[in-house]
């Protein structure tokens, strides 16, 4: 158990899951949150700007790709919004996260979710995944002092996802540019697509990339873009998509 602010949080164990968890609710979605992610999901709001924008953008029947799905918060939220007529692809390479991802999809009875247990990038094959202490920070960017595991590597184009895709969310700790490179055909065939992409300059630098390479790629691909910030659940200008 974890004692915090005078309240007790009871951590449960379940067969098949790699660590104890607590069940929470996020916009009506039930999530089993592992103990290691206490700070990200329980001690603070989980990505409130991203959650609010996704809830505003997604409609029944939409097709969504969640790259860096971790334990499935965005995956399950998106699936609940697009309903049985829509479809969600969840891309996640970390084995511990995959266990919770599958558990949370089953918990919410979401049949139109396809899990791809792999990393996404600019090519196919296998790749080294450096595992952060919580699982949220696992990354393809080399990090000294961290354990690593060899995982499958796919491109979004190689998955042959039925197009058009309405929204792709990418949060892969500095490997976002590689994911975009491997999704050029998927994006080309989805003229009204919206991208929700994490921009982490420090991680890009750690991977030997110019921090401005990500916004430059988006601009070169014909996207209008804006920043999610300020806790407003809004964006400063356009939501994305081709002009």
Structure-token pair, residue 175: 């490997």
User: How does pLDDT run across 188-220, given as a tens digit for each residue?
Assistant: 999 999 999 999 898 899 889 999 999 999 999
pLDDT attached to residue 231: 43
List the single range of 8-22, 103-117, 159-173 with lowest mean pLDDT: 8-22
Chain position carrying tokens 């890009």? 204
pTM above 0.85, yes or no: yes
Q: What is the largest CA-CA distance in the chain?
A: 53
pLDDT attached to residue 146: 73
pLDDT attached to residue 7: 46
Residue 3: pLDDT over 50:
no
User: How does pLDDT run across 98-148, given as a tens digit for each residue?
Assistant: 999 999 999 999 989 999 999 999 999 999 998 865 556 677 877 766 788
């Amino acid at each position: 158990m974890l004692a915090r602010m005078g309240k007790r949080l009871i951590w449960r164990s379940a067969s098949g899951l790699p660590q104890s968890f607590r069940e929470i609710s996020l916009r009506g979605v039930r999530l089993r949150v592992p103990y290691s992610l206490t700070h990200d999901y329980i001690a603070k709001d989980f990505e409130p700007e991203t959650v609010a924008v996704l809830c505003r953008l997604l409609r029944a029947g939409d097709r969504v790709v969640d790259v860096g799905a971790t334990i499935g918060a965005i995956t399950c939220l998106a699936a609940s919004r697009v309903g049985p007529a829509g479809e969600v692809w969840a891309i996640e390479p970390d084995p511990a996260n995959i266990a919770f991802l599958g558990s949370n999809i089953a918990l919410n009875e979401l049949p139109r979710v396809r899990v791809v247990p792999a990393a996404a990038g600019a090519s196919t094959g296998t790749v080294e995944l450096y595992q952060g202490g919580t699982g949220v920070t696992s990354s393809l960017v080399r990090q000294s002092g961290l354990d690593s595991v060899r995982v499958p590597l796919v491109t979004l184009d190689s998955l042959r996802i039925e197009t058009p895709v309405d929204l792709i969310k990418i949060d892969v700790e500095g490997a976002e540019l590689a994911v975009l490179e491997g999704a050029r055909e998927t994006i080309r065939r989805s003229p009204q697509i919206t991208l929700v992409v994490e921009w982490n300059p420090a991680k890009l630098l750690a991977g030997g990339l110019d921090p401005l390479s990500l916004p430059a790629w988006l601009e070169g691909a014909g996207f209008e873009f804006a920043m999610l910030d300020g806790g407003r659940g809004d964006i400063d200008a356009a939501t994305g998509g081709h002009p």
